[in-house]
A = this chain, B = another copy of it.
């Protein structure tokens, strides 16, 4: 042993990863099987079904990208966009900004809809953008901004987007399995998420799904996707059909973990899981406000599972956050971008979404905060 391996036992209450259930951890400790083993192929089929169930979609093109959610974002955008395409992207935090960067690298002309961080994009803003860009190929936005804790309503925007003949692309990284999300009902054409937040599997995988309309766009591309790894025209042959064409070696152990995490979600029931996230959020909210924390986001657009809060006056956020980690093994997240050093992001996601977690955090804060 040259480098000791002794990770501490942390309580994960940041923006992800969240705590992972023992059943999921144990699944990862199982000996591997081959990525073309008939048992693994069956497992991929089951995962596809479970991802469909959790996205609430019948989309045939539904599977898991073998890389983190940022790669899922890139997969969705670079497959749908070709050089010269016009699109509208809403930006109210880090991840909307990342979508713009990716779309521009793919050669698209991006019409940005900028909104103050912590607020949601209003319908009127999309209408205005559609006046400047009346025939966008797609309109993309973030359902739950991990950098601010804002939860974006989607249904009315979806109608507007489809009236314009565009595809509706949604980042569901922090909403999936934590708050209501109905891909088919809300007519979402392309969606991606990650494994490590409300699903509570380890980070590293990105479930995605494409509607029939989106699949038609993929099939009618005039140019090759710039990326080999993200090109769905090839990777989908590994996830679909009678003959599973080798594409890349799937991350077998991570798939084992996701398999069990999805089973846990379906055992609990999606609606129960959404309700739990909301209930524990209320429990946290009352206690944090009693300690003097203030929420960044207006109540009706507040993401229950990612609580962006200003600290009470007189508290040193960096020191308090380090003390929580070092003295109580509790991780909460700092701010990103314009909110760096200004807010905390307290995650209540998946296995980390329990009243016991809230009480651990509040008890530690009570001990550590400057009185």
| Chain A residues packing against B (C-beta within 8 Å) | 1-3, 5, 7-10, 12, 14, 16-17, 19-20, 25-35, 37-40, 43, 46, 49-50, 66-71, 74, 78, 98, 101-102, 105-106, 194, 196, 202-204, 224-230, 246-254, 256-257, 259-260, 262-263, 266-267, 325, 331, 336
Bound CA span A324–B35, Å: 16
- The answer on a CB contact under 8 Å between B5 and A31 is no
Q: How distant is A110 from chain B, measured CB to nearest CB, in Å?
A: 13
- The answer on a CB contact under 8 Å between B7 and A249 is no
Q: Which of B1, B5, B38, B248 contacts A69 (CB 8 A)?
A: B248
- The answer on a CB contact under 8 Å between A16 and B249 is yes
- The answer on a CB contact under 8 Å between B26 and A29 is yes
Known interface pairs A10-B31, A26-B29, A249-B16. Does A263 touch B226 (Cβ–Cβ under 8 Å)? no
Q: How distant is A223 from chain B, measured CB to nearest CB, in Å?
A: 10
Contacts of A14 in B (CB 8 A): 34
Bound CA span A63–B318, Å: 28
Copies of the chain in the assembly: 2
Which residue of B is nearest A103, CB measured? B228
Q: How distant is A241 from chain B, measured CB to nearest CB, in Å?
A: 17
Known interface pairs A2-B266, A98-B228, A226-B227. Does A249 touch B17 (Cβ–Cβ under 8 Å)? yes
Contacts of A9 in B (CB 8 A): 31
Q: Is the interface of A mostly helix, strand, loop or mixed?
A: loop
Most central of A50, A224, A253 by chain B CB within 10 Å: A253
Contacts of A259 in B (CB 8 A): 3, 5
Which residue of B is nearest A204, CB measured? B251
Which residue of B is nearest A42, CB measured? B3
**What would be 8 A-B contacts, judged by CB atoms less than 8 Å apart?**
A37-B331, A38-B325, A67-B68, A69-B249, A78-B227, A204-B204, A204-B254, A229-B230
- The answer on a CB contact under 8 Å between B20 and A203 is no
Q: How distant is A83 from chain B, measured CB to nearest CB, in Å?
A: 10
Q: How distant is A205 from chain B, measured CB to nearest CB, in Å?
A: 8
Q: A66-B204, A69-B249 are in contact. List 10 more A-B contacts (CB 8 A).
A: A1-B267, A3-B263, A7-B30, A19-B31, A28-B29, A37-B331, A71-B248, A105-B225, A202-B251, A227-B230
- The answer on a CB contact under 8 Å between B331 and A34 is yes
- The answer on a CB contact under 8 Å between B26 and A7 is no
Q: Which of B74, B204, B248 contacts A70 (CB 8 A)?
A: B248
Which residue of B is nearest A2, CB measured? B266
Which residue of B is nearest A1, CB measured? B263
Q: Lowest 3 CB-CB distances: which A-B pairs, in order?
A: A204-B251, A29-B29, A202-B253
Which residue of B is nearest A265, CB measured? B2
